[in-house]
Amino acid sequence: MKLFSVEKPGLYTTYQDLGRVGYLKYGVPASGALDRFALQVGNILVGNERGAAGLEVTMQGPELLAEETFVMAVTGGDLSPMINGRRIPLWKSVLIKKGQVLEFGQPRQGVRAYLTVSGGFHAKKYMGSRSVYEPAGLGRKLEKGDELVGEPRQQKAGTGLFFTEIPDYDRDVDVRVVKGPHHEQISDKVVSDFFAMTHDVSPQSNRMGYRLQSDLATNHEANVISDGVPLGGIQLPGNGQPIILLADRQTTGGYTRIGTVIGPDLPLVAQLPPGGKIRFKEVSVEEAQEAAKQEEQKLRIWERFTR
């Protein structure tokens, strides 16, 4: 069933789910939503499985004409979503009627919003995932004239998060990091400076990785034997400018890594605009695991109450 016709595609709008699993060994990135929390909550609000495909909307959103009446939700960054020119609430399911137009205005907070629809979008699957990874030809961004299809189920609108549960996507954030694994090649002073200073997000940032502009003075041997790179891994090349690896990252890398951003804090990184500021706080593996458990428990509770 046709849900939307694309009147304007926006700056960079793609289908994303929670990524493709099991293909890193073949050199295929996992991809998936950069703000996994926002996508999962959006799916919960419209009655979907958490991993259903949604649209990841970057900075300048699309203009979509509804071809049917169904329930949808917009989560993540506040890109001023509107139906027929009237603002709609974020983090809450709403009804859009046939013939109405969904569009986005000025970014107010964050840089990525997620549009989910009841029943999910039925985009083409590549290796078990609907996530777009354009460099390998696995899907493409939205273009004018595209038709977005799905099979919406009967769903009640009006389900939303309590305001205290809605993330605050600030332009100046503190992010938790587990140190390692290449500290034997990085001096104690560089590690100390890394955690003490504020880093700026470079305009040369994308879904593959966020490049940071830092004042780290380092002359360490930055090359290592290539190994698998984790989501959130922080590479430290010889120029002292860290790179936070994200969903479209390469599968292996040969730069030293100074640490890894914990999963629950990755949305704070992914929602930073160019020029945003970031500081890192060291935590233990146990603390990182506990934060992940708490987030998962919260999602499961919301899932139960919306079914």
Query: In the structure encoding, which two tokens stand for residue 1, read together?
Result: 């069933």
Secondary structure of residue 192 in the 3-state scheme: helix
Class for the domain spanning 172-295: mainly beta
Domains of the chain, by residue range, sit at: 2-167, 172-295
* Cβ atoms of residues 11 and 59 within 8 Å: yes
Per-residue model confidence as pLDDT tens for the chain (307 residues): 999 999 999 999 999 999 999 999 999 999 999 999 999 999 999 999 999 999 999 999 999 999 999 999 999 999 999 999 999 999 999 999 999 999 999 999 999 999 999 999 999 999 999 999 999 999 999 999 999 999 998 889 999 999 999 999 999 999 999 998 988 889 899 999 999 999 999 999 999 999 999 989 887 888 888 889 999 999 999 899 999 999 999 999 989 999 999 999 999 999 999 999 999 999 999 999 999 999 999 999 999 987 7
Alpha-carbon distances of 79 from 5, 87, 107, 143, 300, rounded to whole Å: 20, 10, 4, 19, 27
Cis peptide before 237 (omega within 30 of 0): no
CA distance from start to end of the chain: 23
pTM for this prediction = 0.96
Q: For residue 138, give Cα distances in angstroms to 36, 207, 287.
A: 20, 15, 36
